[in-house]
Amino acid sequence: MILYDNNYKIKAIIIDDEPLARMIVQEYLQSYPQIEVMQECGDGFEGIKAIQQHHPDLIFLDIQMPKINGFEMLELVEDPPAVIFTTAFDEYAIRAFENHAVDYLLKPFTKQRFDKAVSKWLDQYTLHASARSGAEAPPADASSSPDEGAPGASVSPGNKTRELLDTAAHSPSQQQRVVVKTGGKIKIIPVEDIHYLEASDDYVKIHTHNGAFLKNKTMNYFEQVLDPNHFVRTHRSYILNVQQVTRIDPYEKDSHLCVLQSGAQVPVSKAGYVKLKAVLGL
Amino acid sequence: MARSPLSIGKFLIIFVSWWLIWALLQTVLLMGFGLRLGIALTDSAVANALVALSCGFVSNNLQYYLPKKERYWYILFLSLGLSILITIACKGILIPLLSSQHGDPGYAIFFSKSWPVRFDIIFLQMACMTILSVLWYSSEEEAQQIQRKTDAERLSKEAELFKLRQQLAPHFLFNSLNSISALTGSQPELARKMIQQLSDFLRSNLKEEEQQSVLLAEELQYLELYLDIEKVRFGHRLSTVIHRDEESLVMTLPPMLLQPIVENAIKFGLYDTTGTVTITIRARAENNHLVISVQNPFDPETSRPKQGAGFGLSSIQRRLYLLFARGDLLETRIEGDLFTAIVKIPQQLITPTT
């Protein structure tokens, strides 16, 4: 088995809003000469920039941070690196970790606990690296094969991360806003500002009074996450904010057309009409 | 269960006196109809003793069975039935007793003439007593129900106040411990200092729970401990300004009220913006109220603070309502990108406990 290049340094980034919390990760990493910390970031915006710039192999990520939390930051990263989560106390995050068998460090954590998480990740990383090098490594496809023994020490990029983020999105703070990236800029949309959502291929188009934004999620995802007392899926391809409704007109047989304050017209299917009437109390 | 009115000394005396006076009146009345004193006295004594005993019996029994509101006919039939029984009993006892003893057949004739009047009076007395008893027991029952309700409310209010006071944020505690852990390696002196601050904070937190109200001066000292810890955690991002006038320092406020408001402001300020954050705390005396305002910056683009008690302030509002029965003591204001929470603490209502 060929190990990865000894001169190659593993690139890591620490993202946490508390300086001392970043400091202790730095300190614990001293005993890993093969890992180099490229940058320390104090919030998710810096984090995204640093990830785009350095393409790290591993990030240490806090959950509760200014403006956007750790999960929302990960959502905006196109090809997210492996993550070791660090958090002090957040029931929603911990529930998400538990549900998806993701290892996480509860602050304050000991060096032993930190070592366990890092060496677990290092083992996986080494395996992947040797598999990538094309040598006679076992056909290790860790992303699809179930993890043997204890839960994985980190999230490997891919489906697992997506599922984790979908679960985490049910936290009350994340239900209040949608974070999107538009032309390299990050925009936080309070849910009250949403007029309606429209399915658009693999994306969902979020219509607001400041224009429309695309988010790489499904309609089912939004139907589950948004407050059902305010958002109704009136059609396979539409979810609307009931507070924006001004008028409901009959359209072709069995279907209706909902006119919003902005003047936009949203199709309402037969089943959608029943749901809409129930929420509006008609 | 409600007590019988006759078990209360005062009512028993009234009850007995009433029957004595009534018996005397009846004697005089009967003598007016030409009966001799002895006969009039015996007649009155027997008749009134029977009615009094029945009244006592009815009053006592209603204690165990109180007719429901829609069943007032029960009262009528009870009084009517007992009145008939008493009249028959009077006849059965008095005629043999008084006719044979005095050899006077005139009494039997008198009784047969007077029984409708006797019956009417007995019925009126029985009905009065029954109605009075029913009213008595109903009001007793209602009073007990109200008492139970206020007791239950008081208990739940105390429990709720305790819970609202108890909310020491675990997030704060674990992050502070993590900061200490980080400092231990490189700056053990600072770590020790922070352990001291955290201990002092937790100690005052425990101590304050037992008090009803504290002086603002004390509360500000306690707040300083908290702010020092937060400043270690967030470094240069967090700064605080405290203004207070001399008069306000000796005013009182409920313990553990100010710190959660400041904690909320810090959280709101620090997590809603990415730059440096200044929290401004102002305390002043105004119209016998202690007025404290806590101001933090926020991002109006992405946050919509609800007017009233948005952003974690609802538990503060609830506490103020439970303590002072007023819903207008917490106010929030938005000016540009500044969010201000203002609490007013009425002074005359709290008495500091020593």
pLDDT tens for B247-258 read: 999 999 988 888
From B58, B55, B62, B78, select the one nearest B139 (Cα to Cα). B62
Which residue among B174, B235, B299 sits closest to A89, beta carbon to beta carbon? B174
Least confident segment among A67-71, A210-214, B63-67, B106-110: B63-67
Nearest to B233 among A20, A24, A109 (CB): A20
pTM of the model: 0.70
Is residue A139's pLDDT more than 50? no
Nearest Cα to A70, choosing from A37, A102, A101? Answer: A102
Nearest CB to B171: which of A42, A89, A177?
Answer: A89
Confidence of residue B109 (pLDDT cuts 50, 70, 90): confident
Rounded Cα–Cα distance for residues A128 and B297 (Å): 46
Contact: B274, A67; criterion CB under 8 Å: yes
Residue-averaged pLDDT of chain A: 85
- Indicate the pLDDT class of residue A80, thresholds 50, 70 and 90: confident
> What string of H, E and C letters represents the secondary structure of chain B?
CCCCHHHCHHHHHHHHHHHHHHHHHHHHHHHHCCCCHHHHHHHHHHHHHHHHHHHHHHHHHCCCCCCCCCCCHHHHHHHHHHHHHHHHHHHHHHHHHHHHHHCCCHHHHHHHHHHHHHHHHHHHHHHHHHHHHHHHHHHHHHHHHHHHHHHHHHHHHHHHHHHHHCCCCHHHHHHHHHHHHHHHHHCHHHHHHHHHHHHHHHHHHHHHCCCCCEEHHHHHHHHHHHHHHHHHHHHHHEEEEEEECHHHHCCEECCCCHHHHHHHHHHHHHHHCCCCEEEEEEEEEECCEEEEEEEEECCCCCCCCCCCCCCCCHHHHHHHHHHHCCCCCEEEEEECCEEEEEEEEECCCCCCCC
State the pLDDT confidence band at A155, using cuts at 50, 70 and 90: very low
**Residue A252: predicted pLDDT:** 83
The answer to whether the Cβ–Cβ distance between A90 and B301 falls below 8 Å is: no
Q: Looking at the complex, report in whole angstroms how far the Cα of residue B210 sits from the nearest Cα belonging to chain A.
A: 27
Chain B residues in contact with A107 by the CB 8 A cut-off are: 174-175, 177-178, 181
The confidence band for B70, taking pLDDT boundaries of 50, 70 and 90, is low
Distances (CA, A) of A30 to A106, A111, A218, B134: 20, 11, 42, 86
pLDDT value for B305: 64
Contact criterion met (CB below 8 Å) for B95 and B108: yes
Label residue A226 by pLDDT band (50, 70, 90): very high
**Contact assignment for A21 to B175 by CB distance below 8 Å:** yes
Tell which of A20, A67, A114, A177 to mutate to test the B interface (max B CBs under 10 Å). Answer: A20
Beta-carbon-side half-sphere exposure of residue B257 (alpha carbons within 13 Å): 31
Mean pLDDT of all residues in chain B?
85
CB within 8 Å: A64 and B183 = no
Q: Name every chain A residue with its beta carbon within 8 A of the beta carbon of B273.
A: 66-67
Q: Give the model confidence (pLDDT) of B111-148 as tens digits.
A: 888 888 889 999 998 888 888 888 888 888 889 889 88
Please say if the pLDDT value at position A21 is more than 60: yes
